[in-house]
Copies of this chain bind each other. A is one copy, B any other.
């Protein structure tokens, strides 16, 4: 049975992005250091890196797609160049409608204006029997966690303090988390949790 998964990198103090997110630093000040393990230890983490993009559809917040606000800049097609790493339908949460944007390699960005549940329904439909992955950022993941809609949360904890920025788990309530797997390389600890809806 297919699952809703979420891979997200955080600092030891729980931030998924540093302060001052902007177009030339989309993960904020020092935020890119969260992901050193993906580049400097790619071989040791090959299996996990592959699993991050192993889904039949993806969902992301608008802020992960662009630093822009308000009406769309139609020249902007995300941070990933002509061939994004998703290779599947990717649903961007937004308040501003926009026509779908097909990219090379199978990624098509769809813009969803009617909320997280509608986006998930469309993603599930697009994914068929494959998983749906919630890509981020923290605010989007927190909304899905609070709604009890993520089955498997995969944290990638980097050995650094960000000290500010976008906090994971903010406002999610007393969600259930069952630790199901732990692994690591020198620059990261990976912990997988089975997540369930907030109690009470």
Residues of chain A having any CB pair with chain B under 8 Å: 12-14, 30, 155, 157, 159-161, 163, 167-175, 177-179, 182-184, 186-189, 191, 193
Contacts and interface: CB of A to CB of B under 8 A. Distances in A.
A187 to B, nearest CB: 7
B13 A193 contact: no
A182 B179 contact: no
B169 A161 contact: yes
B168 A173 contact: no
Nearest to A193: B159
Given A13-B14, A168-B13, A169-B161, A179 B187 contact: yes
Given A161-B169, A179-B186, A182-B184, 18 more contacts: A12-B14, A12-B155, A13-B14, A13-B167, A13-B169, A157-B191, A159-B177, A159-B179, A159-B193, A160-B177, A163-B171, A163-B173, A179-B187, A179-B188, A182-B183, A182-B189, A189-B189, A189-B191
B161 A175 contact: yes
A161 B157 contact: no
Nearest to A37: B179
Contacts of A172: 161, 163
